[in-house]
Amino acid sequence: MKRVLILGSTGSIGTQALDVIERSPELFEVVGLSAGRGHEQLIAQAERHGVSRIAVSDPDAAALAAEAWTAGDVLRGPDGLISLVAESQADLVLNAIVGSAGLGPTIVALTEGIDVALANKESLVVGGELVTALAEATGARLIPIDSEHTAIHHLLTGEPPGVVEKLIITASGGPFRGRKLADLNAVTVEQALNHPTWSMGGKITIDSATLMNKGLEVMEAHHLFGTPYDRIDVVVHPQSIIHALVQLCDGSTKAHLGYPDMRVAIGYALHHPDRADLPIENLDLVKLGKLEFEEPDLDAFPCLRLAREAAVAGGTAPCALNAANEIAVHAFLTGRLTFTGIPRVIDGVLEQLGTRRVHSFETLYVTDSEARRVAAELVETEVHA
| Binding-site sequence positions | 10-13, 36-37, 120-122, 146-148, 172, 195, 201, 208, 213-214, 217
Could you give the strand order of the β-sheet that contains 142-144, starting from the edge strand earlier in sequence? 73-76, 53-56, 28-35, 2-7, 92-95, 115-118, 142-144
Q: 198: left (phi > 0), else alpha (psi -120 to 50), else beta? A: beta
Instruction: Enumerate residues 6+ apart whose C-beta is below 8 A from 80.
Output: 55, 56, 57, 62, 74
User: Distance between CA atoms of 194 and 366, rounded to whole angstroms?
Assistant: 35
User: Do you know the residue count of the chain?
Assistant: 385
User: Distance between CA atoms of 55 and 42, rounded to whole angstroms?
Assistant: 9
Q: For residues 176 and 187, is the Cβ–Cβ distance under 8 A?
A: yes
Which residues lie across from 32 on neighbouring strands? Answer: 5
Could you give the strand order of the β-sheet that contains 253-257, starting from the edge strand earlier in sequence? 232-236, 164-171, 242-248, 253-257
Q: Is the peptide bond before 302 cis (omega within 30 degrees of 0)?
A: no
- Please say whether the dihedral angle defined by the alpha carbons of residues 334, 340, 341 and 346, taken in this order, is positive or negative: positive
Centroid of chain to Cα 127: 13
Residues annotated as binding site for Mn(2+)?
Answer: 146, 148, 217
Beta strands 253-257 and 242-248, pairing class: antiparallel
DSSP state of 85: H
CA atoms within 13 A on the CB side of 126: 31
Residues annotated as binding site for 1-deoxy-D-xylulose 5-phosphate?
Answer: 121, 147-148, 172, 195, 208, 213-214, 217
User: Distance between CA atoms of 337 and 236, rounded to whole angstroms?
Assistant: 26
